[in-house]
Amino acid sequence: MDKSEEKKVTYYTEEVIAQILKYGRNLAEIQAGGTVKDTVLTVPSYFNQEQRRLIMDAAEMAGLHIIQLVHENVAAATMFGIDRMDTEKSLTVLLYNMGGKDTEVTVARFSATADEKNKTFEYIEIMGEAWDENLGGADFDKVIVDMLAEAFNALPERKGKPDIRKNEKAMKRLFS
């Protein structure tokens, strides 16, 4: 079959995410030794309703029933609350999550209250969230590489030579 006869396949975003979720579901079923139908998925705080609907549609295509969509930092706060040892005192925590593309910050308070039977109930209060969907680790990488390139270009033995940033191979090495 030559290239002119190749059939081009186009996937919608939901279909690609559904394939990823289905693969994850298969891994979870192997690990659990049973069937996985219900799920809680994390999404970035800045996702709008359309993006959240896309995730829910993809999960449905993967055969998953979404119980809840949770912000990534709320999920991290929940895990922190489960693992924390001293539950007698209230504690306020800043959760900082920098990914490759975005940064999310959440302030959470962990407290406990007792009922009339003196049984203690712990709870998490999300006091605030902020995010920048355009500031992530990749941005810091670019700044560091730029600083390294400047320092390299400033070496006395480099005087009169072209800027290192014009050398594609050298830039790949700096980024790795």
pLDDT at 4: 63
User: How crowded is residue 58: how many other Cβ atoms within 10 Å of its Cβ?
Assistant: 23
pLDDT at 39: 93
Q: Is 71 exposed, middle or buried (0-12, 13-18, 19+ CB in 10 A)?
A: buried
Backbone φ and ψ for 45, nearest 5 degrees, come out as -60, -30
- Supply the pTM of this predicted model: 0.65
3-state secondary structure of 89: coil
pLDDT at 2: 62
Alpha helix (H) ranges present in 13-160? 13-32, 49-61, 72-83, 137-153
pLDDT by residue, tens only, the chain of 176 residues? 566 667 888 999 999 999 999 999 999 999 999 999 999 999 988 899 999 999 999 999 999 999 999 988 899 998 888 888 777 788 999 999 988 888 999 999 998 887 778 777 888 899 999 989 888 888 888 889 999 999 999 999 988 899 999 999 989 888 88
Backbone φ and ψ for 60, nearest 5 degrees, come out as -60, -40
Domains identified in the chain and CATH numbers: 3-71 (3.30.420.40), 81-132 (no CATH), 137-175 (no CATH)
Q: With beta carbons less than 8 A apart as the criterion, state whether 141 and 175 touch.
A: yes
pLDDT at 1: 55
